[in-house]
Structure 1
Amino acid sequence: MRVIKKLNNNFAICVDGEGKELIAAGKGIGFPKTPYELEDLNLITRTFYDIDQKYIGLFSEIPETVIHFTAKLVDIARNELKYELNPNLVVTMSDHISFCIQRAKKEIYVQMPLIYEVEQTFPAEAKIGRYAVKQIERRFHVRLNQNEASGIAMNFVNARYNSKSRTDVTEELQSQYDDILEDTISIVEDEMGILIERNSFNFARYSSHLMYLLKRIAGHQTLDSDNGIMYKSMREEFPEIAACVELIDRYFHRKLRIDLSEEEKLYLLLHINRICTREGL
């Protein structure tokens, strides 16, 4: 196997004997100067094929323990679920779980759909979600809201290989989706002084968050909890991002005649903060 690019000391982009590109995990495989031939394949502990280019950088950003934990979780899901899962799921769910852990350590608990509601439609995925929450708590020594299981469950649902990401959104909202996405991204770019590449993971994650938001609007659901105090605290800590969120809230009021709850604003602030952090702000 030829190692062609280091991601970190233990992850690297490689090419196998058939000329296929992959991400390989193994202790120290990224340490030597690349490119080089890896003779001892026993060093490889796991391989990831068909990873979209925009997700590759996350292998060097997400804690390795989270990636390996998630890979094992996805292995379990592949045995339990009756459909093929998108190969990018390991990366996107690692990012999701890493975000859950970060929030829990800061005692930020964002309201999720009730797990028993998800169980009605997706019982197999909900079961894995519940299992995942228990294992995350045990492995990473954090306390999670049990409804985090629903967010993990929906990651599996959305990772069906040929699933439509825009289901459950009204035709009117779906027709406006691209405009809403571009308009709100432009607000973030203008206010924060950054450029978000449209083929980047930051863009894909924000797009996914926006779609979930529109689904809740379509279902006349809002995220609402007692996180008003937390939002006020975060607003004081990140005033520029909070101002950006308020502009997006006004945009939604003009465009869709809705006002975002403080819970929605908090979640949006957290997402925009992650984008800015990754863009080096």
Structure 2
Amino acid sequence: MKQILTIEKVLNNNVVIAVHDTYKEVVLIGKGIGFNTNKGDPISFDKADKTFLLKDEKEKEQYVNLLPHIEENLIIFIHELLLFVEEQMGKELNEHIHVALTDHLAFAINRAKKDMQFSNPFIYEIEALYPKEYQVAKGVVKKVEDWMDIAFPDGEIGFIALHIHSAVSDKSLRDINRYNLLISQLVEIIEKNLTIQLKKDDVDYHRLIQHLHRAIDRAHQGQAIGEENKLEELLKNEYPVCYNLAWKLIKVMQNQLNKPVDEAEVLYLTIHLQRLINKS
């Protein structure tokens, strides 16, 4: 049996908002779906290539306000990009990416057309933290560049990767950016205390970043990693500089996250830091 909805609002030729008894308001996207239709007309779910719910009132308002400023072909194209991302990530995306990525890409395309270049200071960290999202974002950028015949700066890959990560992890971009800022603050403290310049494309730097990220995640979720008393004594005596610095980093994390960080993290951080010293 076909599920029939009632059109609530025609946003453009390719996007309509319809009302459904169970889901309330549903956004339907499909080529020509809104052409020659009016409020109150019946419409079938089958007509749409993609349907999604925007349960959040604020996001729905954002999406409705955003669409009039975007070419209709671009909306269909972004919808295809989202299907590509979903397929590559092998996960369903949180609905908020429709608003966030549509908004982001519309501005990014605009900037590229005007040849406005800007950098992304976290590009190496993003690649280290979210390698899969980064690769998929590369594919998205390539598709946009080919379709629009424009060139994106490399920094865009990082920004799109963050949007993808936000959509597959259900974390807000605000939290993700907060964690990334904390990580770069910790890296700064490490460089200052050990008087070294870390090579951002180095495998040990990637490992350190991933470890810091996991430590923040564990603290956020209140997870412990267990105790290793003998190892602690050994590291404390063998590598006092790194051991003390590791404690300093833990204290910064605790202050910034306003949550306790498991003391066993010190051991793993000490090992990562010593590795960096040996390299330099």
Deviations 1:156-196 (A, max 9, x none): 122245325325638xxxxxxxxxxxxxxxxxxxxxxxxxx
Identity of aligned residues (%): 26
Between stretches 96-105 and 28-37, larger displacement belongs to 28-37
- Secondary structure at the counterpart of residue 175 of structure 2: coil
Between stretches 17-26 and 83-92, larger displacement belongs to 17-26
Deviations 1:11-48 (A, max 9, x none): 21102464532111241525433121136x65433322
**Aligned counterpart, 1:104:** 112
TM-score normalised over the length of structure 2 = 0.54
Q: CA deviation at 1:90?
A: 1.9
Q: CA deviation at 1:115?
A: 4.1
Q: 4, 11, 20: which one pairs with 1:7?
A: 11
Deviations 1:184-238 (A, max 9, x none): xxxxxxxxxxxxxxxxxxxxxxxxxxxx8x66985688xxxxxxxxxxxxxxxxx
Return the alpha-carbon distance in structure 2 between the equivalents of residues 23 and 78 of structure 1: 18
Q: Is 2:142 the counterpart of 1:137? A: no
Return the alpha-carbon distance in structure 1 between the equivalents of residues 159 and 114 of structure 2: 19
Q: 12, 37, 42: which one pairs with 1:37?
A: 42
Q: 1:28–1:124: structure 2 CA closer, same or farther, 3 Å change rule?
A: closer
**Aligned counterpart, 1:22:** 26
Q: How many residues align?
A: 178
Between stretches 125-134 and 18-27, larger displacement belongs to 18-27
Q: 1:83–1:29: structure 2 CA closer, same or farther, 3 Å change rule?
A: closer
Extract unaligned runs of 5+ from structure 1.
171-211, 222-281
Q: Is 2:126 the counterpart of 1:128? A: no
Q: Is the 8 A contact 1:133 1:146 kept in 2?
A: no
**Aligned counterpart, 1:190:** none
Q: What is the identity, as a one-letter code, of the residue corresponding to 1:73?
A: L
**Highest CA radius of gyration, 1 or 2?**
2
Q: Is 2:171 the counterpart of 1:163? A: yes
Deviations 1:21-78 (A, max 9, x none): 2111241525433121136x65433322235323331233332333222222222322
Return the alpha-carbon distance in structure 2 between the equivalents of residues 167 and 11 of structure 1: 30
Q: What is the identity, as a one-letter code, of the residue corresponding to 1:90?
A: H
TM-score normalised over the length of structure 1 = 0.54
Return the alpha-carbon distance in structure 2 between the equivalents of residues 144 and 216 of structure 1: 26
Return the alpha-carbon distance in structure 1 between the equivalents of residues 121 and 75 of structure 2: 25
Return the alpha-carbon distance in structure 2 between the equivalents of residues 167 and 145 of structure 1: 21
Q: Is the 8 A contact 2:11 2:34 kept in 1?
A: no
Between stretches 14-23 and 4-13, larger displacement belongs to 14-23
Q: 1:133–1:56: structure 2 CA closer, same or farther, 3 Å change rule?
A: closer
CA RMSD of aligned residues (A): 3.0
Q: CA deviation at 1:102?
A: 0.2
Return the alpha-carbon distance in structure 1 between the equivalents of residues 46 and 82 of structure 2: 22
